[in-house]
Amino acid sequence: MSLDDRIPNNVDLSSDRRLQKALEQWQPKFQEWWMDMGPEGFQAKDVYLRTATSVERDGWATFDYVKMPDYRWGIFLTPEEPGRPVGFGDMIDQPSFEEVPGEFRNSLRRLIVTQGDTEPASVEQQRLLGQTCPSLYDLRNLFQVNVEEGRHLWAMVYLLHRYFGRDGREEGDELLARRSGNADKPRILEAFNQPINDWLSFFCFTMLVDRDGKYQLAALAESGFSPLRRTTQFMLTEEAHHLFVGETGLGRVIRRSAQLRRESDGQEAKVGGIPLETIQRYITHWYSYALDLFGSEISSNAADFFSSGLKGRYHEASKYSEHSAKDQFQEIPIIENGRVTMKQVPLRNAMNEVLREEYIRDTERAVRNWNKIIKEENVNFEILLPHRRFHRHQGEYAGHGFTFDGSPLPDAASYQAELAKTLPTARDREIVQSVMTPVTKPGQMAHWIAPPTKGINDQALDFEYVRLN
Site residues (vs another protein, CB under 8 A): 90, 106, 110, 174, 177-178, 183-186, 188, 300, 303-304, 306-308, 325-326, 346-349
> 33 and 450 in contact (C-beta within 8 Å)?
no
Q: How far is the CB of 164 from another protein (least distance, A)?
A: 13
Of 307 and 437, which CB lies nearer to another protein in the complex structure? Answer: 307
Of 341 and 380, which CB lies nearer to another protein in the complex structure? Answer: 341
Q: How far is the CB of 89 from another protein (least distance, A)?
A: 9
Of 63 and 329, which CB lies nearer to another protein in the complex structure? Answer: 329
- The residues near 250 (Cβ < 8 Å, ≥ 6 apart) are 203, 204, 207, 279, 283, 366, 370
- The helix (H) or strand (E) run that includes residue 51 is strand 46-51
62-67 and 46-51 as β-strands: parallel, antiparallel, unpaired?
Answer: antiparallel
SS (H, E, C) 60-97: CCEEEEEEHHHCCCCECCCCCCCCCECCCCCCCCCECE
Q: How far is the CB of 361 from another protein (least distance, A)?
A: 24
What is the spatial distance between Cα 22 and Cα 172, in angstroms, rounded to a whole number?
10
Amino acid occupying residue 426: A
- The helix (H) or strand (E) run that includes residue 331 is strand 329-336
Q: 10 Å Cβ neighbour count for 424? A: 20
Of 67 and 110, which CB lies nearer to another protein in the complex structure? Answer: 110
> 409 and 402 in contact (C-beta within 8 Å)?
yes
Alpha helices for 337-388 (secondary structure H):
351-376
Q: How far is the CB of 403 from another protein (least distance, A)?
A: 22
Of 184 and 265, which CB lies nearer to another protein in the complex structure? Answer: 184
What is the spatial distance between Cα 50 and Cα 187, in angstroms, rounded to a whole number?
28
Q: How far is the CB of 245 from another protein (least distance, A)?
A: 29
Q: How far is the CB of 88 from another protein (least distance, A)?
A: 12
Phi, psi angles (nearest 5°) of residue 85: -85, 175
Q: How far is the CB of 395 from another protein (least distance, A)?
A: 11
Q: How far is the CB of 300 from another protein (least distance, A)?
A: 4
Spacing of C-alpha 90 from chain mean position: 30
Of 20 and 307, which CB lies nearer to another protein in the complex structure? Answer: 307
Of 177 and 460, which CB lies nearer to another protein in the complex structure? Answer: 177
Of 239 and 297, which CB lies nearer to another protein in the complex structure? Answer: 297
- The residues near 242 (Cβ < 8 Å, ≥ 6 apart) are 145, 148, 149, 206, 210, 213
- The residues near 332 (Cβ < 8 Å, ≥ 6 apart) are 297, 298, 342, 343, 345, 350, 353, 396
End-to-end CA distance of the chain: 28
Distances in whole angstroms, Cα of residue 435 to Cα of each of 245, 253, 446: 20, 12, 8
> 330 and 353 in contact (C-beta within 8 Å)?
yes
Q: How far is the CB of 346 from another protein (least distance, A)?
A: 4
Q: How far is the CB of 308 from another protein (least distance, A)?
A: 7
Of 178 and 229, which CB lies nearer to another protein in the complex structure? Answer: 178
Of 280 and 349, which CB lies nearer to another protein in the complex structure? Answer: 349
